[in-house]
Amino acid sequence: MRFERCKTLFGDDGFDKIQNSSILILGVGGVGSYALDCLYRSGVENITILDYDTYDITNQNRQIGSEKIGMLKIDRLQELYPNIKTINQEMNMQWVKDFDFNPFDIVIDCADTSRVKIELAKKIYKKLIMSVGSAKRYDATKIEVASIWKTHGDRLAKKIRTELKKSKFDRNFTVVFSPEEDKCKDKGSFVGVTGSFGLMICSEVIKKILKN
């Protein structure tokens, strides 16, 4: 049976919780596509992905499905992972303000824009798992999971903390990050790290589901 080994690990009740959870992944690039793959293979049946971008040749070093250059990411991933739901939408501030997140148990944020990430945190911190700082690194052993307030060594996380403090926001939410120093100035990336971020996020999702 397809999920026999998952049931053996999580138990029947735990696996039922996993199957019936509703997960939203915001951004399905180098991090989000691996989170999707992991959740799908772990038995989550209710997965929705949001992205508006198409594949470029430069995505092929790290993104699942990226051999289909020019194709919408959500369409290609729906081919690879049947039964997932898709939203073709650029994630901007207005969308975050207007979108109804209530149907989802957990929201995974793999967006690139700090203002959008901050807006998300303010709105849905209780169900949020956020990815920051996976580019420009190649040591996957440096990846950590912590409250946003305990992140360190990552400039994006620091910026988010600072802006949240300015707005007097003091709630906790989970962040996957790496304090490894940048190894280049431009958009260098390595699937060993970006993919590990996605798998780490998936693990955090599973733990959260089982705990609740």
Q: What is the CATH number of the domain that holds 175?
A: 3.40.50.720
> 14-33 burial string, b = 16+ CB within 10 Å, else e?
ebebbbebebbbbbbbbbbb
Spatial CB neighbours of 36, under 8 Å, sequence gap ≥ 6: 25, 28, 47, 49, 64, 77, 81, 84, 198
Predicted pLDDT of residue 41:
98
> Contact at 8 Å (CB) between 157 and 134?
no
Where in the sequence is the domain holding 166, given as residue range(s)?
4-211
pLDDT (tens, 9 = 90+) of the chain, 212 residues, equals 899 999 999 999 999 999 999 999 999 999 999 999 999 999 999 999 999 999 999 999 999 999 999 999 999 999 999 999 999 999 999 999 999 999 999 999 999 899 999 999 999 999 999 999 899 999 999 999 999 999 999 999 999 999 999 999 999 999 999 999 999 988 899 999 999 999 999 999 999 999 98
Q: Which residues pair with 130 in a beta bridge?
A: 109, 175
Count Cβ atoms below 10 Å from residue 186 Cβ, excluding itself: 8
Q: Which residues pair with 144 in a beta bridge?
A: 177
Q: Could you tell me which of 141, 143, 142 has the C-alpha nearest to residue 131?
A: 143
Number of domains in the chain: 1
Rounded to whole angstroms, what are the CA distances from 28 to 6, 56, 161?
24, 13, 24
Predicted pLDDT of residue 56:
97
Eight-class DSSP state of 136? T
> Contact at 8 Å (CB) between 74 and 28?
yes
Provide the CA 5 distance to its chain's centre, in angstroms.
Answer: 24
Whole-structure pTM value:
0.97
